[in-house]
Amino acid sequence: MHSPDAMPEKSYDAQQIELKWSDRWKNSALFQAEENSSKPKFYVLEMLPYPSGQLHIGHLRNYAIGDALARYKRMRGFNVLHPMGWDAFGLPAENAAIANKRDPYEWTRFNIENMKRQHRRMGFSYDWSREVTTCDPEYYRWNQWFFLKMLERGLAYRKRSLVNWCDECGTVLANEQVVDGCCWRHESTPVEQRAIEQWFLRITHYADELLNSMAELEAGWPERVLLMQRNWIGRSEGAEIDFHLDPAGTPIRVFTTRVDTIYGATCVILAPEHPLVAELTGAAAKAEVKRMIDARAAKGPGDIEKEGIFTGHYAVNPYSNGKIPIWIGNFVLMGYGTGAIMAVPAHDERDFEFCKQYGIPIRPVIRPVDGTLADAATLKESFPDDGILENSGPYSGLASEEARRVMSAKAEKENFGKPAVTFRIKDWGISRQRYWGTPIPVIYCEKCGIVPVPEKDLPVVLPLSIAITGKGRSPLENVPEFMNVKCPKCSGPARRESDTMDTFVDSSWYFYRYCDPHNSTAPFDSKKIAYWFPIDQYIGGIEHAILHLIYSRFWTKVMRDLGLISNGEPATRMFNQGMVIKDGAKMSKSRGNVVSLDEMVEKFGADTGRVFELFAAPPEKEMDWTDSGANGAYGFLSRVYRFVTRNIGNAQPAPGEADKKILRKLHQTLRKVTEDFESRWHFNTSIAALMELMNNLQSMEKQISAPVMAEVLEKMALMLEPFAPYLAEELWEEQGRQGPVFNHPWPAYDAELAREEEAEVVIQVNGKLRGRIYVAFGTPRETLEKLALGDAKVQTLLDGKQVVKVIVVPDKLVNIVVK
């Protein structure tokens, strides 16, 4: 017979435990997804990281959430695909090459190795056999292949246009990469508009579908992301209408959503960059226009004073035949609609401001449905709502909505316009004048023009070890062995495209490659995609709401139309984790508040890091990293470890009341943790529940019988598995059980055992808590009322008062209302 302290308590040595298990997991295929499994599949994915070299604890959160889910789902019997890879192309590698003379390839490889080591040290359950690295020619050849397919279908095209240029990056940016007029990477570098020839992908072809199929995502994607995408796509229905010049000349086409107000148009306004401006202005005005464009560029976005120049020319309103002046206005955008508008000051706020400023007449033509037409002379503000048309020729008396339909139909019929839909989203410019990216597989031949690289010649391999200065045009231009080729058509001398692709191309489809990462004849086998897709849970930062998340939706639709896949959306559920905050700010090098992962792991251990990141706040909210908080998580794991090790195989008292209590707490905890996984992912409350269980265990340690203790210790390890896998595994082994823990089913809770024995019923007098009684569940209302009224303390409070009403909520509360 053992004494109660037979098993000595061991102290929790996180390093020793974690290194031991990490070593055992290293070369095994434990976390590999199964092919041809009969289990239901679950694809959980965290956004692939850029291999910057060092993970810090700000990166950890996303992986801790994903890994908890992956481990839980495995235990629930799913065939889980949980892969990891590297978004390995991009500017930092090139900048490192310039600054430290490190070869981008070597630099990237080195970083990947280090970050992979960090991932392994954290014990994340990735299937590393599916690792994808985007700078690997076997990966990016498929970027090129997709590009060729798009080129064939007219979804990729080359165009000279005004593009966003970041001087700091030395390259062009897509519209999505411009934030508040500045580069998304260099927040204080305003982008310049430059006219450059570049390659575009026709994302606008899918604008309507990208918008409409959001309906499928509403259940599983954050409303915030969908809203941002909806705004970004910016669909707007209206009409295009031609205003002819007077005297005759090239007509000015305007886009308007309010053709019903056209009888109130009192001028036409062109964007300063509008092509007709040159035709309509003299030398003096041209200089003014240039000044206008420069002033706006200098100011950046945001508030600019409205400014206008009268061209001296007039246009004719095709409906009223009235002659109205043509102006140039700095607030009219060349990049939206047709770059020209009709100004209806009476019914548009901006037009009102402009016309007031320049004394242009105001002509009300819409009255409120239940009001009268405004008087132009006394008008203080525009009336932008729909209403009833007046002073609008044959259309007077129509409601706005009907008028729009009738009037745009007339324009189409008589060939001076048409109903039109305009989008804010523009085609995706993918050319980058940089080195470290996927070469665009195109050849320029003097004779044949633009010639796509034949599929059989893919991949066009990016030459390694070249000189990068960061000056001038794309570094590839200085590599003759790359640039000079024979034309695939005529075999004459030709040059390769020297631009590379935006790295968002790489990340637009990488998650498909995980399903078939070593396929050398196709990007993937469609059958494998059919099994794994769509992604069941995608996890990543909100910063990609209109970047990666819109590009990858587009790419999915393109691949579907190429017949490669059958799903129309990449992921059914999306989750945006909250940021990690340190000392009141987001972690960043410039603020000097970065805590490196290695430092954290050395100090606390991987399990502690995970548990604290999940415990400190719900996963979608910001969380504050504090060392004292992390220390608390360490203390919890340490208490669990010591408790379990000292209670294994101990002789314990005979079964008694404590057994019942602790089993109840155990099953309540199981229920709580299970529910958190199944519904809202509030792992902070799951971990709090585990802590409560631990507190309860400690307080009744000496009263729990051996079989009950064994059950509690077993289930404790199972429940810890998603949050602190190293500790779970260690405790499992200490108990003499066969691992690994995640191959065991998630423990079911027993609702009967979890149920409290008695209901605690609160007694209130006038809504104030005055006492509590304990009764059997289901005690009838009348009994409860009687018990409450009979309560000694209640009696004294009722003295001299009149009971007006008694509210009884069975098993919960009795409220006595007195006067």
Partner RNA sequence: GCGGAUGUGGCGGAAUUGGCAGACGCGCUAGAUUCAGGUUCUAGUUCUCGCAAGGGAGUGGAGGUUCAAGUCCUCUCAUCCGCACCA
Span near RNA by CB under 7 A; candidates 212-220, 442-450, 669-677, 711-719: 669-677
CA angle at 657 for the pair 651 and 661, rounded to the nearest 5°: 100
Task: Determine which residue in the list 37, 357, 698, 783 makes contact with RNA, applying CB under 7 A.
Answer: 698
Minimum distance of RNA from residue 277's CB (angstroms): 14
**Ranges within 742-761 binding RNA (CB under 7 A):** 760
Span near RNA by CB under 7 A; candidates 65-73, 360-368, 450-458, 801-809: 801-809
- 254 with 341: CB under 8 angstroms? yes
Angle, to 10 degrees, between the axis of helix 606-615 and the axis of helix 683-699? 110
> Of the two residues 516 and 676, which places its CB atom closer to RNA in the complex?
676
**Ranges within 250-309 binding RNA (CB under 7 A):** 255-258, 271, 301-306
> Of the two residues 196 and 687, which places its CB atom closer to RNA in the complex?
687
Q: Site map for RNA, 543-572, x if CB under 7 A?
A: ---x--------------------------
Alpha carbons within 13 angstroms on the beta-carbon side of residue 792 total: 0
Q: Tell me how far the alpha carbon of residue 415 is from its chain's centroid.
A: 44
Q: Site map for RNA, 316-355, x if CB under 7 A?
A: --------------xxxx-xxx-x-x------x-x--x--
Question: Is the bond preceding 740 in cis, omega lying within 30 degrees of 0?
Answer: yes
Q: Is the dihedral of CA 172, 175, 181, 186 positive or negative?
A: negative
The length of the chain, given as a count of residues: 819
Question: Which CA distances in Å does 661 have to 673, 701, 748, 757?
Answer: 18, 12, 18, 9
The reply to whether 179 sits near RNA by the rule CB under 7 A is yes
**Pick from 733, 727, 627: nearest CA to 12:** 727
Task: Determine which residue in the list 160, 527, 768, 819 makes contact with RNA, applying CB under 7 A.
Answer: 768
Cα distance between the two ends of the chain:
66
**Pick from 668, 582, 686, 630: nearest CA to 68:** 686
- 33 with 95: CB under 8 angstroms? no
Distance CA(289)–CA(294), nearest Å, equals 9
Minimum distance of RNA from residue 473's CB (angstroms): 30
The reply to whether 231 sits near RNA by the rule CB under 7 A is yes
**Ranges within 457-516 binding RNA (CB under 7 A):** none
Alpha carbons within 13 angstroms on the beta-carbon side of residue 209 total: 15
Q: How many CB atoms lie within 10 A of CB 491?
A: 11
Rg (CA), the chain: 34
Q: Does residue 696 sit in helix, strand or coil?
A: helix
Task: Determine which residue in the list 280, 468, 549, 633 makes contact with RNA, applying CB under 7 A.
Answer: 633
- 152 with 135: CB under 8 angstroms? no
Residue 15 parent element (H or E): helix 14-26
Q: Site map for RNA, 590-629, x if CB under 7 A?
A: -------------xx---x------xxxx--xxxx-x-xx
Alpha carbons within 13 angstroms on the beta-carbon side of residue 588 total: 6
> Of the two residues 114 and 422, which places its CB atom closer to RNA in the complex?
422
Task: Determine which residue in the list 193, 213, 320, 422 makes contact with RNA, applying CB under 7 A.
Answer: 422
Identity of the amino acid at 402:
E
Distance CA(627)–CA(612), nearest Å, equals 10
Q: How many CB atoms lie within 10 A of CB 744?
A: 17
Minimum distance of RNA from residue 127's CB (angstroms): 31
> Of the two residues 99 and 803, which places its CB atom closer to RNA in the complex?
803
> Of the two residues 109 and 186, which places its CB atom closer to RNA in the complex?
186
Task: Determine which residue in the list 386, 561, 675, 714 makes contact with RNA, applying CB under 7 A.
Answer: 675
Minimum distance of RNA from residue 486's CB (angstroms): 45
Task: Determine which residue in the list 171, 400, 503, 764 makes contact with RNA, applying CB under 7 A.
Answer: 764
The reply to whether 57 sits near RNA by the rule CB under 7 A is no
Minimum distance of RNA from residue 809's CB (angstroms): 5
DSSP-assigned letters across all residues of 55-70: -BHHHHHHHHHHHHHH
Minimum distance of RNA from residue 360's CB (angstroms): 15
DSSP state of 491: -
Alpha carbons within 13 angstroms on the beta-carbon side of residue 544 total: 21
Report how many residues bind RNA under the rule CB under 7 A.
Answer: 93
Distance CA(524)–CA(285), nearest Å, equals 58
> Of the two residues 515 and 687, which places its CB atom closer to RNA in the complex?
687
Distance CA(364)–CA(346), nearest Å, equals 5
- 70 with 108: CB under 8 angstroms? no
Minimum distance of RNA from residue 241's CB (angstroms): 10
Task: Determine which residue in the list 16, 766, 783, 795 makes contact with RNA, applying CB under 7 A.
Answer: 766
Minimum distance of RNA from residue 166's CB (angstroms): 17
Q: Tell me how far the alpha carbon of residue 610 is from its chain's centroid.
A: 22
Encoding tokens for residue 474?
């794309």
> Of the two residues 83 and 339, which places its CB atom closer to RNA in the complex?
339
Minimum distance of RNA from residue 437's CB (angstroms): 24
**Ranges within 347-406 binding RNA (CB under 7 A):** 348, 350, 353
Distance CA(758)–CA(543), nearest Å, equals 50
The reply to whether 428 sits near RNA by the rule CB under 7 A is no
> Of the two residues 75 and 259, which places its CB atom closer to RNA in the complex?
259
The reply to whether 192 sits near RNA by the rule CB under 7 A is no
Q: Site map for RNA, 6-25, x if CB under 7 A?
A: --------x-----------
Minimum distance of RNA from residue 134's CB (angstroms): 26
DSSP state of 460: -
Task: Determine which residue in the list 98, 228, 409, 700 makes contact with RNA, applying CB under 7 A.
Answer: 228
Q: Site map for RNA, 699-728, x if CB under 7 A?
A: x-----------------------------
Q: Site map for RNA, 769-788, x if CB under 7 A?
A: xx-x----------------
Residues 6+ apart with CB under 8 A from 27: none
Minimum distance of RNA from residue 471's CB (angstroms): 32
> Of the two residues 480 and 767, which places its CB atom closer to RNA in the complex?
767
Minimum distance of RNA from residue 170's CB (angstroms): 24
